[in-house]
Amino acid sequence: MTKAIVTVMPKAGVLDPQGKAIGHALGTLGFGGVGEVRTGKIIELELAETDPAKARALAEEMARKLLANTVIESFRVELA
Amino acid sequence: MTKAIVTVMPKAGVLDPQGKAIGHALGTLGFGGVGEVRTGKIIELELAETDPAKARALAEEMARKLLANTVIESFRVELA
């Protein structure tokens, strides 16, 4: 069993309204000195594949086909 | 400027319907050998605070007050 962690973030230049809302809410709560806020998703997958290279390739294929919208989002895969 | 990365995940035992949906969708797409899928959020913050210990404490306070619902979610803070 291999645990793959896929992190999906909006690409640079893509608007992130959720991040903007969080930045605004932090200011309202009294937190100063907060610059840009970006939000993304993290998907932890338990894979039956035990070979690390194959597990990584599988998780990357899953990210390209389902987990990330590669037009506006970039992703990276880590194995844990 | 310090970049803080807050990762928020559902606590063990908390239902994660989005993760379940992703697991099901991966099966529909032909990906086999997928066990449990858990989804979380990642929030990248640019902080004016330059002292690493203070920046980490600040990000943890933001997570407790706004970014995470600590009843059902756990979080961790990394500095990048």
Query: Tokens at residue B59, please?
Result: 């990000």
With beta carbons less than 8 A apart as the criterion, state whether A36 and A23 touch. yes
With beta carbons less than 8 A apart as the criterion, state whether B77 and B17 touch. no
- Give the C-alpha separation, A1 to A45, whole Å: 10
CATH topology of domain A2-79: Mth169; Chain: A , (3.30.1280)
H or E stretch at A76: strand A73-79
pLDDT of B27-49, one tens digit each?
999 999 999 999 999 999 999 99
C-alpha distances out from residue B17 to A9, A79, B10, B32, B38, Å: 21, 23, 11, 19, 9
Residue A43: closest C-alpha in chain B: B39
> Are A42 and B42 an interchain contact pair (Cβ–Cβ within 8 Å)?
yes
Domain boundaries, chain A: 2-79
Domain B2-28+37-79: top CATH class: alpha beta
Return averaged pLDDT per consecutive 10 residues of chain B, 80 residues in all: 97 96 97 96 97 97 97 97
Contact B26/A at CB under 8 A: yes
